[in-house]
A and B are shown apart, each in its own frame.
Chain A
Amino acid sequence: MSTARGTMSTARRHFRRVPAQLAAGVTIAICLFPVYWMVATAFKPNRDIQSDSPQLLPRTWTLDHFRAAVDADGFGLFWRNSILVTLGAVLLSLVVALGASFAVARMRWRGRRQFMLMVFIAQMAPWEALIIPVYIISRDTGMLDRLPTLTLVYFMMTLPFTIVVLRGFIAAIPPELEEAAQVDGCTRPQAFRHIAFPLLAPGLMATSLFGCITAWNEFTYANFLIIKHQDSRTLPVWLSSFQNVFGTDWGATMAASTLFALPALAVFLLLQRHVTAGFAAGAVKG
């Protein structure tokens, strides 16, 4: 690529890039505007929100909407529920996936290929079509309105991806490294902790962040499995009903959306380093 560009004169290169830069600007604007508008509305006073000529930049700033959102009924409880369910599902799926991906990456056994095929199919599971039987099964087993049910469902949603990614990471660690450490006098757990674990850490990080986002955002199951016991609701369901509760208070709704989106956005920005690092690696290896 660089050689091809090198042959062009600098001036011509700049000229050629103008339409591209314009398109890039439009792309960025379309991507960012809804996010920006959410945050901007959340900080605007009500009279600026309900005005016939909305200002692109808030003239006066207020925290009233955030106060309204935080003071809403059960806000803290729903945060706690969301965090509990998310962490539970992610930890469970990490532990289970570590075992399975170790077996797939490092051992040879009958049915390994079939097992991976199953994992890939599970990854594509049509969860939207399974909501009816899961509802009926939960009802029959008395698991409706309970957070562990959601934890289990989210665990299964994130497990296949976790296995696929961790398998790649484990397969990339040469077993010789651990063997060498053991020859040098490490015990097997020590060898794992000092040699394999640091190499595995990015994989654990990436998969757990991904799992967190999936569980944090999940709406469908949280909506249909938690019905009577409102105290067990999670944030997405609360947010979807926020407008019903607050009516036309769009400032508070946007503040609630902002608060809900923040953890996911932060996690993704953390993850972005891994994603872009992956790009670089892909470019080199390709």
Chain B
Amino acid sequence: MTVTREPGAPSGTPPAPLRRPAKGPARPGHGSVRRRGVLGVPSAETAWPYLLIAPTVLGMLYLLVYPLTRTVLISLQDFQLRQLILGDARFVGLRNYGTLLTDDRFWQVVRRTFLFMAVNVTLIMVLATLVALLIERLGRLGRIAVLSSLVLTWAMPVIAATTVFQWLFHSEFGIVNWALGRLGFTSFDRYPWFAHGPAAFTILVLLIVWQSVPFAAITLYSALVTVPAELYESARIDGASARRIFRAVTFPMIRPIFMLVFSLEVIWTFKAFVQIWVMTNGGPGDATTILPVYAVQTALSSQRYDLGSAASIVTVLMLAAVLVLYFRQMLRQEDEAL
């Protein structure tokens, strides 16, 4: 779980009035001399910030830029088990991409990835908005109760949650089958959820929605409380219905945060790799194989590192499209903060 802006963490609140004109770190006592570094007086002074960020930059270069470059290279090579051991991979141009793009199974996986993303993100955003609106409407006690249980759900480790869901949907002793049986759906007696593609897909969606709604709901709620009460009041005096108020007042106000959460959720759908790998391993058949799962299966299970890398690059490109949306939103806020 990579939380970008922990709701309410000080990063979210623009510290604009507190921001100071920069000062050299070594001698803050000389604060009266502004922009010492940029005006380039002593070289030791100007080197400081670069020394301080050097470890970060080195880490990013070695642990992010280098692996990404390596993926691109491998995706352009003939790279299988033999090449992994002997290290004599040669370049084959775009052959791997050709193989991939003419493969029906790959396109099925791409379509499934989009479906998976659309279903998850829609459910997450709708439910999270409803829960956020609900929290706002509650009294103090109810608010604390709902927020606390959301935080607890949010805190549940992915692997633990995945294991629990497997147990909940266990065919023989699972409580879900028992409850469905009691409700009269006798066809669910000993129903093997993980043996049927659509059923396994549904359980994964349920699991991911259950895990993702808390963050989205809490973030949206923290955006909701910033909407000035006067706006609601005047809308109500004008006789607007609740739905109208949401469309015309609430939503436009929380739109920036909503878009931020939306793009985050799209990106995080790819993190569902863990749940899928542990729960179904992409199966039964291919029913729950989405792109990241496909890439790892191709590379690490079938030793086709080249094809797997090409699939990874396709994944990164898809993510990049969403990221552009995210960063436009992010930088708009950043400009206010910096």
**B1 and chain A: residue at smallest CB distance:** A214
Find out whether the CB atom of B270 lies under 8 angstroms from the CB atom of A128: yes
**A261 and chain B: residue at smallest CB distance:** B160
Query: Is B107 part of the binding interface, using a Cβ–Cβ cutoff of 8 Å?
Result: no
Query: Is B29 part of the binding interface, using a Cβ–Cβ cutoff of 8 Å?
Result: yes
Chain A interface mostly: helix
Find out whether the CB atom of A21 lies under 8 angstroms from the CB atom of B149: no
Chain B interface mostly: helix
**A267 and chain B: residue at smallest CB distance:** B155
Query: Is B198 part of the binding interface, using a Cβ–Cβ cutoff of 8 Å?
Result: no
Query: Is A75 part of the binding interface, using a Cβ–Cβ cutoff of 8 Å?
Result: no
Set of chain B residues within 8 Å of A97, measured between Cβ atoms? 56
**A168 and chain B: residue at smallest CB distance:** B11
**B137 and chain A: residue at smallest CB distance:** A20
Binds A, one of B43-51, B97-105, B117-125: B43-51
- Could you say which of A4, A31, A276 contacts B232, with CB atoms under 8 Å apart? A4
Set of chain A residues within 8 Å of B210, measured between Cβ atoms? 30-31, 34
Query: Is A136 part of the binding interface, using a Cβ–Cβ cutoff of 8 Å?
Result: yes
Given contacts A109-B49, A119-B56, is CB(A124)–CB(B229) below 8 Å?
Answer: no
Query: Is B203 part of the binding interface, using a Cβ–Cβ cutoff of 8 Å?
Result: no
- Could you say which of B225, B277, B312, B316 contacts A279, with CB atoms under 8 Å apart? B225
Find out whether the CB atom of A49 lies under 8 angstroms from the CB atom of B19: no
Q: How far is the CB of B53 from chain A (nearest CB, A)?
A: 5
Find out whether the CB atom of A132 lies under 8 angstroms from the CB atom of B18: no
Query: Is B188 part of the binding interface, using a Cβ–Cβ cutoff of 8 Å?
Result: no
Set of chain A residues within 8 Å of B184, measured between Cβ atoms? none
Q: How far is the CB of A145 from chain B (nearest CB, A)?
A: 15
A66 and B15 alpha carbons, distance in the complex (Å)? 48
Find out whether the CB atom of B155 lies under 8 angstroms from the CB atom of A129: no
Which residues 251-295 in B have Cβ within 8 Å of A in the complex? Answer: 267, 270-271, 273-274, 277-278, 292, 295
Given contacts A156-B59, A206-B6, A279-B222, is CB(A109)–CB(B50) below 8 Å?
Answer: yes
Set of chain B residues within 8 Å of A11, measured between Cβ atoms? none
Digit string of A116-155 for contact with B (CB within 8 Å is 1, else 0)? 1111111111101111111111011000000000001101
Q: How far is the CB of A174 from chain B (nearest CB, A)?
A: 6
Which residues 24-44 in A have Cβ within 8 Å of B in the complex? Answer: 24, 27-28, 30-32, 34-35, 37-38, 41
Set of chain A residues within 8 Å of B52, measured between Cβ atoms? 99-100, 102-103
Find out whether the CB atom of A21 lies under 8 angstroms from the CB atom of B138: yes
Find out whether the CB atom of A219 lies under 8 angstroms from the CB atom of B3: no
Q: How far is the CB of A260 from chain B (nearest CB, A)?
A: 6
Set of chain A residues within 8 Å of B22, measured between Cβ atoms? 106-109
Find out whether the CB atom of B145 lies under 8 angstroms from the CB atom of A24: yes
A154 and B48 alpha carbons, distance in the complex (Å)? 27
Given contacts A108-B38, A120-B330, is CB(A129)–CB(B154) below 8 Å?
Answer: no
- Could you say which of A100, A183, A214 contacts B53, with CB atoms under 8 Å apart? A100
Query: Is A63 part of the binding interface, using a Cβ–Cβ cutoff of 8 Å?
Result: no
Find out whether the CB atom of B173 lies under 8 angstroms from the CB atom of A54: yes
Find out whether the CB atom of B15 lies under 8 angstroms from the CB atom of A171: yes
Query: Is A226 part of the binding interface, using a Cβ–Cβ cutoff of 8 Å?
Result: no
Query: Is A201 part of the binding interface, using a Cβ–Cβ cutoff of 8 Å?
Result: no
Query: Is B68 part of the binding interface, using a Cβ–Cβ cutoff of 8 Å?
Result: yes
Find out whether the CB atom of A4 lies under 8 angstroms from the CB atom of B229: yes
Find out whether the CB atom of B6 lies under 8 angstroms from the CB atom of A275: yes
- Could you say which of B139, B150, B158, B267 contacts A219, with CB atoms under 8 Å apart? B158
Q: How far is the CB of B81 from chain A (nearest CB, A)?
A: 12
Q: How far is the CB of A165 from chain B (nearest CB, A)?
A: 5
Digit string of B55-72 for contact with A (CB within 8 Å is 1, else 0)? 111011001101110110
Query: Is A245 part of the binding interface, using a Cβ–Cβ cutoff of 8 Å?
Result: no
- Could you say which of B15, B28, B270 contacts A168, with CB atoms under 8 Å apart? B15
Find out whether the CB atom of A130 lies under 8 angstroms from the CB atom of B312: yes
Query: Is B175 part of the binding interface, using a Cβ–Cβ cutoff of 8 Å?
Result: yes
Q: How far is the CB of B181 from chain A (nearest CB, A)?
A: 9
- Could you say which of A165, A223, A260, A268 contacts B152, with CB atoms under 8 Å apart? A268
Set of chain B residues within 8 Å of A137, measured between Cβ atoms? 66-67, 70
Set of chain A residues within 8 Å of B162, measured between Cβ atoms? 240
Query: Is A157 part of the binding interface, using a Cβ–Cβ cutoff of 8 Å?
Result: yes
A153 and B241 alpha carbons, distance in the complex (Å)? 51
A20 and B46 alpha carbons, distance in the complex (Å)? 58
Find out whether the CB atom of A260 lies under 8 angstroms from the CB atom of B25: no
**B14 and chain A: residue at smallest CB distance:** A285
Query: Is A198 part of the binding interface, using a Cβ–Cβ cutoff of 8 Å?
Result: no
A163 and B56 alpha carbons, distance in the complex (Å)? 9
A203 and B10 alpha carbons, distance in the complex (Å)? 8
Find out whether the CB atom of A126 lies under 8 angstroms from the CB atom of B70: no
Set of chain A residues within 8 Å of B300, measured between Cβ atoms? 131-132, 135, 224
Q: How far is the CB of B103 from chain A (nearest CB, A)?
A: 18
Query: Is B23 part of the binding interface, using a Cβ–Cβ cutoff of 8 Å?
Result: yes
Query: Is A69 part of the binding interface, using a Cβ–Cβ cutoff of 8 Å?
Result: no
- Could you say which of A24, A50, A123, A264 contacts B142, with CB atoms under 8 Å apart? A24
Please name 10 pairs of A and B residues whose Cβ atoms are closer than 8 Å in the assembled complex, sorted by A: A20-B137, A50-B173, A129-B316, A135-B299, A168-B11, A174-B18, A239-B160, A257-B164, A275-B7, A276-B8
